[in-house]
Chains A and B, each alone.
Chain A
């Protein structure tokens, strides 16, 4: 069965791909098949170790700080951020840097406030932490809704991006691309669980960092590593001239700027697939180390995308080989990094980067699917509905079923949203993470007076308001639904939805005089002790 699926997938990849544009994409196909073979082999190896819940959700808890740091950066450096940010730098110069910094600034927040208590209190998902002393059922359901909406929005955005990218790179039809990505993702996660997903992330992170480094070095080599000369060339070639070195029109009003800033800063600390990674390390010391490694890798990666974006301005924006008839980049601005790879490194580098982009998509969707599946099987099924009474075997079965269903749903949604603008979905995922997941996690760890009632109502309102503001805002209400003016005037809702969450939770908890609330407050001290010291967590080093 296993081998059958494998050979069908490989065969279809091969045959469909060779039907494409041919020529220079042979290298990328060979490299991609190599990546898929290696990762499927890892999945096979991991499948023997992922039969327990612990193995499936946390890879046995034996991943080292460095490995986890690489895997976290693998989760975070998606094809969308590699191609999207270098494309944004290509188009606007400085403004691309605003996003890079925004995506990076969440990491010290995670490190200083979340990582260690999360590791000390949780077992498989961040809902473990939020529901540590609160009423399991309502809190698990809420946390799972927060996780699933973040994961699904993220998955749709990745999937549509993947389909289009693969269509351009390999000449595969969109549907086939989406199905191959979805199929491989189901295989990795169902058979290999967290162990396979982690190693897929690690390999991909190394490949991506290596590929981006090579492009950036080859670009800088052409300018003798003289940044002055480099930026001078860019400003003289770009049609906006010197203005690309300062803030442009990407963020115009102060409220949007602050709102986007908040969503990026605190959203990262509420992304379930990122939070889940902290359960794969044995203790808080390794959790801490892994964030420092991840921040280093991701920060370095954004420096590279900045050089790549500027390099693309100089080396490809005037080269007719990469432009279509209307003088824009073939395949759109997001192809800047890909074209640049060809310009500086020829077809070998182009093939390598194309394969890396494909691998990146696969790895990121696998991590997301695993987080989504654990929200369904661990939070909803095992703890909210069966109240922790089911057998582990049963929970494992549900998690695998959930993976397959999520995979099929993602393929389906990827096809439905093919021609929609999905760029806002990642923004919405960050807004939900910042307005629901992050406040719940933060307050449950640090605020003694948090009770179930306050968390449930405040968290739900945060989730609901983030979604509502985006739907009624300029991006969905005007640009997608075609109405003439937005009901909610701002593009980024986090400033408002986060305020709603925190104020609601504060008011309700202050006035919650219920007996349950009182009991929950009493449990805080022992929880706080454990979150600060790690005393009481399962020792996983004996595996």
Chain B
């Protein structure tokens, strides 16, 4: 294995975890916050928001569904933009 090649691989691995870790955190923490409120303090989700008949719980639940989808879009965007060129560089070097 050429040293240049090993460096490239390390760059790829670091790049991946730099993209994946925050997104993983962004997925897991709101979800367990949501579950945590339901388990420990469900009344927190009862108030109606913005003078409507929509409760905070329903609002945040629907936002969470949207967030989950947005996370997948962000990852696909970042992976195609940053990870793929790095992989191609390694492939060309092989």
Binding site for B on A (CB under 8 A): 94, 97-98, 100-101, 104-105, 107-109, 111-113, 227-228, 231-232, 235, 243, 245-247, 251, 253-254, 256-258, 260-261, 265, 285, 288-289, 291-292, 295-296, 299, 302-303, 306, 529, 532-535
Contact = CB atoms under 8 A, between A and B. Distances in A.
A289 B77 CA distance: 10
Contacts of B36: 254, 257-258
Contacts of A291: 72
B53 A235 contact: yes
A245 B72 contact: no
A254 B40 contact: yes
A231 B75 contact: no
A532 B13 contact: yes
Interface in B48-87: 48, 52-55, 57-58, 61-62, 64-66, 68-69, 71-73, 75-76, 79-80, 84, 87
A261 B61 contact: no
Q: From B61, B84, B87, name the one whose CB has the most chain A CB atoms within 10 angstroms.
A: B61
Contacts of A285: 80, 84
Contact of B35 (A243, A261, A299, A306): A261
Contacts of A253: 39
B68 A261 contact: no
Contacts of B79: 288
A254 B32 CA distance: 11
B91 interface: yes
Contact of B87 (A101, A243, A299, A534): A534
Nearest to B20: A112
A535 B5 CA distance: 13
A97 B60 CA distance: 10
Nearest to B42: A247
Given A97-B58, A246-B42, A533-B12, A105 B84 contact: no
Given A246-B45, A288-B75, A534-B87, A261 B40 contact: no
A231 B9 CA distance: 53
Contacts of A101: 31, 34, 61, 64-65, 68
A133 B52 CA distance: 57
B61 A108 contact: no
A291 to B, nearest CB: 6
A108 B94 contact: no
Given A247-B42, A529-B9, A111 B80 contact: no
Given A231-B58, A292-B69, 10 more contacts: A101-B68, A108-B24, A112-B20, A113-B24, A247-B45, A258-B35, A288-B80, A303-B62, A532-B16, A535-B91
Nearest to A232: B53
A283 to B, nearest CB: 10
21 contacts: A94-B55, A101-B64, A101-B68, A107-B72, A108-B23, A108-B72, A109-B24, A109-B27, A112-B75, A245-B46, A245-B55, A245-B57, A246-B57, A247-B57, A254-B39, A288-B80, A295-B68, A303-B65, A533-B9, A535-B91, A535-B94
Contact of B68 (A243, A254, A299): A299
A107 B61 CA distance: 16
Given A101-B31, A112-B23, A285-B80, A299 B58 contact: no
B71 A108 contact: yes
A227 B91 CA distance: 52
Contacts of B61: 94, 97-98, 100-101
Contacts of A288: 75-76, 79-80
Contacts of A243: 46
A228 B53 contact: yes
A261 B32 contact: yes
A98 B38 contact: yes
Nearest to A295: B72
Contacts of B27: 105, 108-109, 112
B80 A94 contact: no
Contact of B54 (A228, A260, A292): A228
A295 B67 CA distance: 11
Nearest to A310: B58
Contacts of B20: 112-113
A534 B79 CA distance: 14
A228 B55 CA distance: 10
B33 to A, nearest CB: 11
Contacts of B84: 285
A94 B87 CA distance: 44
B78 to A, nearest CB: 10
Contacts of A94: 45, 55, 57-58, 61
B65 A289 contact: no
A231 B55 CA distance: 9
A533 B31 contact: no
Contacts of A258: 32, 35-36, 39
Contacts of B34: 101
In the A-B complex, list the 6 residue pairs whose CB atoms are closest, starting with the nearest.
A257-B39, A245-B55, A247-B42, A246-B46, A254-B39, A292-B72
Q: From B20, B54, B55, name the one whose CB has the most chain A CB atoms within 10 angstroms.
A: B55
A470 B16 CA distance: 38
A533 B90 contact: yes
A101 B30 CA distance: 11
